[in-house]
Amino acid sequence: MAGENFVDYVKICCRSGAGGAGMSHFHRDRNTSKGGPDGGDGGRGGHIILKGNAHMWTLLPLKYRKHVIAQPGQNGASALKKGANGNDIILEVPLGTVAKDAETGEIEFEITEHGETKILVDGGRGGLGNANFKSATQQTPEYAQPGQPGKEEWKILELKILADVGLVGFPNAGKSSLLASISAAKPEIANYAFTTLVPNLGIVNYRDNRSFIMADIPGIIEDAHLGKGLGLRFLRHIERNAVLLFMVPIESNDISKDYHILLNELNMYNPDLIDKPRLLAITKCDIVEPEYLELIRPEIQIDVPFIFISSVSGSGLTELKDQLWAIMNEVML
């Protein structure tokens, strides 16, 4: 996934169409000089609609489209003719796209299925023609409704990527190295924090020609749930991963503490995340002697299974894939 092409956040100004005005008109022809009201209704203004597309993986097409404007509805006409509705604007988005109100930050809906459509900004209602206001006491109403104005609203669209396994860890925990070593993905790898600024996806080949998708989520830091270190932008990508693989390097001063900090950040952001199946991989184990691993094993006090791995030497990677596959099968049962 090319970083420059992966866009997971856009802010757009949406202007729906105004409704057409109803018409005030009375039927007239060469045989009728004073006919009844026959003013038609105005057409609805165009909606702005989001539509799910399973073949898209980025919001890039909307990155440079800052204003989206729908057409107004047409006015009603005589002979009870209804004005045409304004054409809707349909914006195709990847599955996992969340729509928010830019002013309040309130989540309005999420697109999760291919072909699913939801109205982002609704068009104005068309006005009623004067024929609608005829009654026993008012046979010749002259009043017709104007159309409702359209709405102009700023919206935020955020994308949450979908993967079988999501990698969760602090910056420089070895997530990109793991993805590069067991898939064909080529994420940027360097010895400094926040090398990964956008998620990377890789297809991990397993036994008997089976495979699963792994997502390298940008690194989380303490207080990420408060927005520190772009935490909120990163955390949302974890929501659509079936299994979470926590990663803490062997050089950590306290592996158990780091694991619980990561777990707490997920809990503070969305308590549902801690209900996802999870596994801990202790990384970079090639830099220590095998005896050291057995020495610290009893000191690791956590509530999930853990495994020692090295993306450099390949140690533990086959066992890691076996455990992840077993967990994924449990999730699907």
Instruction: Specify the CATH number for the domain of residue 326.
Output: 3.40.50.300
pLDDT at 111: 94
* Closest CA relative to residue 8, chosen from 271, 235, 321: 235
Residue 226 has a pLDDT of 45
Question: Domain residues for 119?
Answer: 1-159
Is 169 found in the same domain as 37? no
Number of domain units in the chain? 2
Q: Give dist(CA 261, CA 252) in Å, integer.
A: 13
Complete edge-to-edge strand list for the sheet that includes strand 117-121 = 89-93, 48-52, 117-121
175 and 146 in one domain?
no
- Residues 26 and 171 reside in one and the same domain: no
Residues 236 and 128 in one domain: no
**Which of these three, 159, 181, 210, is where a domain ends?**
159
pLDDT along the chain (333 residues), means of 10: 66 97 92 89 98 89 92 96 97 93 93 95 97 91 95 93 86 86 64 52 87 80 45 67 92 94 86 90 94 93 94 94 91 51
Of the residues 140, 159, 178, the one at which a domain ends: 159
Same domain, 275 and 181: yes
At residue 225, the pLDDT reads 41
| Chosen domain end from 159, 183, 208 | 159
Claim to verify: residue 195 and residue 277 sit in the same structural domain: yes
Whole-structure pTM value: 0.71
Residues 47 and 192 in one domain: no
**1 and 141 together in one domain:** yes
Residues 315 and 174 in one domain: yes
The answer on 208 and 134 residing in a single domain is no
The answer to whether residues 14 and 50 touch, using CB atoms and an 8 Å cutoff, is no
What pLDDT, on a 0 to 100 scale, did the predictor assign at position 268? Answer: 84
The reply to whether 177 and 84 lie within a common domain is no
